[in-house]
Structure 1
């Protein structure tokens, strides 16, 4: 009975640890709330993080958002913002409309689950398509869904589920859910591994599904804009593999960004107890989880003895202690005849900006032309950062994950 008792005590320890780290009830599990004071040496492969030179100011634009998760701009400059409990809000002329957008599907809003990503079709001005990711189901059987709808400026219409994760799971952890668009009008959709031990699926810990190429869990998927699967996906003609898979071996990606200059895809990924990652994600590649990882078990001890293995991709940065990364932006500046707009944060062009839930900051990650990490600096926000985006005006926008969440803009001084 000693081993089961030890495991039970460990699970109780996780629960107490999670409660201790929570800033807001039911915001997330310990997977997103690893305390940065955990006694662990830095494992990053670049110089220590420094505080960024303050050549900008933080301006709070909107308050009163309930756990905002994602944002997208309409062609007229208005902004759509998702709230995890299941609402879609609109900001016009700097003011939050008190009435949520109508027509949303029912969501499973428990722990990390709820209404998550929002993304507009690249041809939104013509087709009015809006895409939403959300968790659906019950505590015993739920999954990430992708829905497409039309938006008339007030209400969603013709809401259709165009894709859902192949396997239902239990609990409210690790839904992933970020979306980016590629130049060929296909999308990449990140899906989490389903959760931490003791959550199980098919007789084993669910996290092992990240290495199962028949499963959507722990993957980046590539889809057409109608939810169908492109015929040129890397595993489209591979036996015993889902044709939707673009990359695999991921734990829980909540930051995904596309570099249009160099045609690169970047992701930030939650580790467990430390071991958060920045990855350069490529088609057909295996990113190792949970076979290779810098993370530790929440109960203590190793998840794996391996930190690297041939045939598996190494991260560009490992963050230990954890930052709990969420939201990722590639800054490519503004192409404008207006010199003031064109020169906003010109020194940031070609760099990444990664939000942190636990670190309560945005990491400015300086990249060289080959995609190597040169350095990283911390931009203190003082709140849990859920999303980071470059706006059409060239400023950086930040959503904070709180019951009274904020929309913040970084502006030139």
Structure 2
């Protein structure tokens, strides 16, 4: 169907039936893309895309172009001399986009099955492209750890989704959580989220928390507070950001949220669009945005929407779906963000003030049920991701490595993935991802990745729940599986 055929025209005739009645521009299908493929494509390309009368769609051999648009063009315009009919009359642009995503998913699944990925442990070193390392467990006994931060004295703070702030001291999880933290709406994806220690903590003692704040009638919205630790309690609590009650949403998904201090007195934080995708484009609502405030919660006068009627003045960027990764480049100072897409279209973005990152108007993904969302992946006035993962890896936290134990990783960006259970290393040069590598896979859902003051890289896992760290190892097994280089 989508490639230069190795079969006679008969293959194309098998799929001409829909064209007899679909002569006008069709409406987007509400069928699962797998069903669309089975009814229109499987006769030629096989039920598992492995090839039949026509060629395989999962062997990475493309004679008419391997990029998304070339594949879409083959579907849309056909290749009649080779027996491939045009499907522009039978399939909407949205349906065609969904088929491209489906082909990408199936191809990635096949490649993954044929790749041996590293699975490090405390007693098992692995070799990545640049360094050998082990994965050493620091502490267990946690319940869905969400975020990790470090105090100057070496203690570790860990948030648990259900609403507890825990302390790890010399590798031991203290039995009692910190008392006095705010009540959270712990349902669905909501709960106690990010924790951050003020860069000048030694002088001011401030600790910052983001959480899903309960509202009326079962609603909630991400809120930001700061406080201090004193005798096992969270005291002197100050609310830095809380949306007006009328803007809270009832969905149990997409709260965000991550922190970044920029070293200039500002705090950046992200909020997901709370399952109301249109809100991401609405400047009167806080969700689906990256925000910037002063460290005390006041609004910087140079924020891009200050003074704009109807716009929340804390907004720094908008059109962001569910940003659960936020990191500042240690050299350039650029703000980088990772966000969950729908089914396909996880994104890595370089966040700039006042920019629109497109959700839900443009996306590289489709609906979770396999039905098409839109065929638009670009539009004037909307930013393109620096990198997108299609199919989705469920990208979560992100941090730049600034330690000394792995010198060849210096200033690389490390991202975690939940569904694909990965940690990836991304080399960024000139604002572009020039290479990415899967360091390890399938040892747990990765919720947080943190470059720590002690020079190691720490990882928070969900299932099994634990905190671990990467430590250098003398040497070992063959190199881990590699992720493909980034493509636009």
What TM bracket, shorter-length normalisation?
0.7 to 0.9
Corresponding residue number in structure 1 for 2:278: 208
Structure 1 residue 73 displacement after superposition: 0.5
Match status 1:173 vs 2:233: no
Structure 1 residue 170 displacement after superposition: 0.3
Match status 1:81 vs 2:144: no
Corresponding residue number in structure 1 for 2:270: 190
Unpaired runs of at least 5, structure 1: 1-5, 11-37, 196-205, 334-341
Q: Which has the larger radius of gyration?
A: 2
- Of 161, 172, 175 in structure 2, the residue corresponding to residue 95 of structure 1 is 172
- Of 454, 468, 484 in structure 2, the residue corresponding to residue 393 of structure 1 is 454
Cα separation, 1, equivalents of 2:224 and 2:414? 26
Greater per-residue strand proportion: 1
Structure 1 residue 183 displacement after superposition: 1.8
Cα separation, 1, equivalents of 2:102 and 2:367? 14
Match status 1:231 vs 2:298: no
Cα separation, 2, equivalents of 1:255 and 1:165? 21
Tell me the SS of whatever aligns to 1:151.
strand
Q: Out of 374-383 and 79-88, give the one that drifted further.
A: 374-383
Q: Cα distance 1:313–1:42, how it changes in 2: closer, same or farther (>3 A)?
A: farther
Cα separation, 2, equivalents of 1:141 and 1:42? 35
Cα separation, 1, equivalents of 2:231 and 2:317? 35
Structure 1 residue 316 displacement after superposition: 1.3
- Of 270, 286, 302 in structure 1, the residue corresponding to residue 340 of structure 2 is 270
Q: State whether residues 330 and 411 of structure 2, in contact with CA within 8 Å, keep that contact through their aligned partners in structure 1.
A: no
Tell me the SS of whatever aligns to 1:329.
strand
Greater per-residue helix proportion: 2
Q: Cα distance 1:40–1:111, how it changes in 2: closer, same or farther (>3 A)?
A: farther
Match status 1:125 vs 2:209: no
Q: Out of 383-392 and 137-146, give the one that drifted further.
A: 137-146
Structure 1 residue 260 displacement after superposition: 2.6
Q: Cα distance 1:312–1:144, how it changes in 2: closer, same or farther (>3 A)?
A: same
Q: Paired residues, what number?
A: 356
Give me the TM-score of the superposition, normalised by structure 1.
Answer: 0.82
- Of 256, 267, 279 in structure 1, the residue corresponding to residue 326 of structure 2 is 256
Q: Cα distance 1:153–1:262, how it changes in 2: closer, same or farther (>3 A)?
A: farther
Corresponding residue number in structure 1 for 2:469: 409
Q: Out of 254-263 and 164-173, give the one that drifted further.
A: 164-173
- Of 93, 113, 118 in structure 1, the residue corresponding to residue 190 of structure 2 is 113
- Of 328, 347, 371 in structure 1, the residue corresponding to residue 398 of structure 2 is 328
Give me the TM-score of the superposition, normalised by structure 2.
Answer: 0.70
Give CA-to-partner distance per residue, 1:195-251, whole Å, 9 cap, x none.
1xxxxxxxxxx2111011111110000011121211110111323322111001000
Corresponding residue number in structure 1 for 2:437: 377
Give CA-to-partner distance per residue, 1:173-213, whole Å, 9 cap, x none.
10011111012121111010011xxxxxxxxxx21110111
Corresponding residue number in structure 1 for 2:219: 141
Structure 1 residue 366 displacement after superposition: 1.1
Corresponding residue number in structure 2 for 1:56: 133
Cα separation, 2, equivalents of 1:280 and 1:165? 25
Q: State whether residues 40 and 320 of structure 1, in contact with CA within 8 Å, keep that contact through their aligned partners in structure 2.
A: no
Q: State whether residues 165 and 217 of structure 1, in contact with CA within 8 Å, keep that contact through their aligned partners in structure 2.
A: no
Unpaired runs of at least 5, structure 2: 1-28, 33-100, 118-127, 474-488
Corresponding residue number in structure 2 for 1:162: 240
Corresponding residue number in structure 2 for 1:301: 371
Match status 1:315 vs 2:385: yes
Corresponding residue number in structure 2 for 1:289: 359
Give CA-to-partner distance per residue, 1:98-127, whole Å, 9 cap, x none.
111111111110010000010111221111
Tell me the SS of whatever aligns to 1:376.
strand
RMSD: 2.2
Q: State whether residues 187 and 222 of structure 1, in contact with CA within 8 Å, keep that contact through their aligned partners in structure 2.
A: yes
Structure 1 residue 153 displacement after superposition: 5.6
Tell me the SS of whatever aligns to 1:65.
coil
Cα separation, 2, equivalents of 1:389 and 1:270? 19
Structure 1 residue 39 displacement after superposition: 4.0
Give CA-to-partner distance per residue, 1:54-113, whole Å, 9 cap, x none.
611111111111000001100101000000001111011111111111111111100100
- Of 148, 151, 158 in structure 1, the residue corresponding to residue 229 of structure 2 is 151
